[in-house]
Chain A
Amino acid sequence: MTENEKVFNQIVRDYSERLWWHVRRFVNSHEDADDLLQEIFLKVWTALPSFRGEAQLFTWVWRIATNETLNHLRKEKVRAALKFSSVDAEMERRIQADPYFKGTEAERELAKAVLKLPEKQRQVFIMRWWDDLSYEEMSAITGTSVGSLKASYHIAQEKIRSLVSQQVF
């Protein structure tokens, strides 16, 4: 086994489950999260020889995953627009009909409210609320200052409070 393979297997062991949850919150579909994670790890494997250790491995892997996920969502948006349909409506439908959803109605409402946030706020909210990342980690991944991330999270929380009927925070 080569050194790169050892590092790659370590990344798979350490981060695959957390990254799956991260991606799953964005795409709202078990199957899409599964497919996307394959693509993300293929990209990680391809880019591994160029990883020079300037960033932490954790940050580097999360950055690839987040970029790939956002690119995937942008393509879905374009695809939906070209078919004269709405990606937000499709996402809401996915949440409503998700066979793997086991939560309460308040949690379903929360998931739907997150869809209504602008891309940046949605990203920050998912990373903080569900992925449980620290502001410092989020800052390293997104290249945004801690102060700006805190402000985005606060605004996102306020918007969600106004969108859901029950107390979720």
Chain B
Amino acid sequence: MTRKSDISTPEGYFENLQERLSAIPRQQEVSKPAATIRRFTPYLAYAASLLILLSVGTFVLRKTTVAPEVQQVQEDPYWDYYAYLSGALDPDGYFEYTEIEDLSDEDIINYLLASNLSLEQLAMSYEEGF
């Protein structure tokens, strides 16, 4: 059995491959401005994280701050707090759930792949309920 005769390649493939690979330094030279942007990427990421944190914080504070008249009712020992929540926060009497409809399975898979977690780590996270 000859060891490499079982697989073929398109005609002239290796000559073409060498040409394409040799072009990598020139291609990288052209895309150098992108490297400058990459240098600032971590700072931009920090700024974006801070902005998100502030927005989420403000949103949570607004949602959880109770109006004085509601607070007065809540202090009533007979007030069923949970009944209040389900009745007052949602006109249909149910809690509201927000779904992120724009997030596809492929987006989630790509995110998990980019996280570089191993299959074992992912399984462990799943078992822990994350």
Chains A and B form a bound pair: yes
Residues of A in contact with B (beta carbons under 8 Å apart): 4-5, 8-9, 12-13, 16-17, 20-21, 24, 30, 34, 37-38, 41-42, 45-46, 74-75, 77-79, 81-83, 98, 100-104, 106-108, 111, 129-130, 132, 168
Establish whether residues B22 and A9, one from each chain, have CB atoms under 8 Å apart when the complex forms: yes
Complex-state Cα separation, A37 to B19, whole angstroms:
13
A residues near B117, Cβ cutoff 8 Å: 78
Residues of B within 8 A of A75 (CB): 113
Which chain B residue has the least Cβ–Cβ distance from A5? B25
Q: Please indicate which of the listed interface residues A12, A38, A81, A83 has the most CB atoms of chain B within 10 Å of its own CB.
A: A12
Residues of B within 8 A of A (CB): 1, 3-10, 14, 17-18, 20-22, 24-25, 28, 105, 108-109, 112-113, 117-119, 122
Nearest-Cβ distance from residue A44 to partner chain B, whole angstroms: 9
A14 → chain B closest CB, angstroms: 10
A37-B17, A81-B122 as given contacts; A102 in contact with B6, CB under 8 Å: yes
Q: Give Cα A130–Cα B3 distance, bound, in whole angstroms.
A: 6
Assuming the contacts A41-B21, A75-B113, A77-B119, asked whether A129 and B3 have C-beta atoms less than 8 A apart, the reply is yes
Is A79 a contact partner of B109 (Cβ separation < 8 A)? yes
Does the CB pair B6–A8 fall under 8 Å?
no
Q: Are A8 and B24 in contact (CB under 8 A)?
A: yes
How far is A104 from B2 in the complex, measured between Cα atoms in Å? Answer: 11
In the complex, A1→B6 CA distance in Å?
39
Q: How far is the CB of A18 from chain B (nearest CB, A)?
A: 10
- Give complex CA distance A108, B3 in Å: 12
User: In the bound complex, do residue B22 and residue A78 qualify as a contact, i.e. CB atoms below 8 Å apart?
Assistant: no
Could you say which of B3, B22, B105 contacts A132, with CB atoms under 8 Å apart?
B3
How far in angstroms is the closest Cβ of chain B from A112? 12
Query: With A78-B119, A130-B3, A168-B1 in contact, do A100 and B14 touch (Cβ < 8 Å)?
Result: no
How far apart are the CA atoms of A101 and B7 in the complex, in Å? 5
Complex contact B5–A102 (CB within 8 A): yes
Known contacts: A75-B113, A81-B122, A132-B3. The answer to whether A102 contacts B25 by CB under 8 A is: no
Partner of B1, one of A21, A83, A106: A106
Q: Is the CB of B14 within 8 A of A82?
A: no
Q: How far is the CB of A103 from chain B (nearest CB, A)?
A: 3
Contacts of B10 in A (CB 8 A): 30
Known: A130-B3, A168-B1. A82 touches B21 (CB 8 A): no
What are the residues of chain A within 8 A of B1 when measuring CB–CB? 104, 106-107, 168
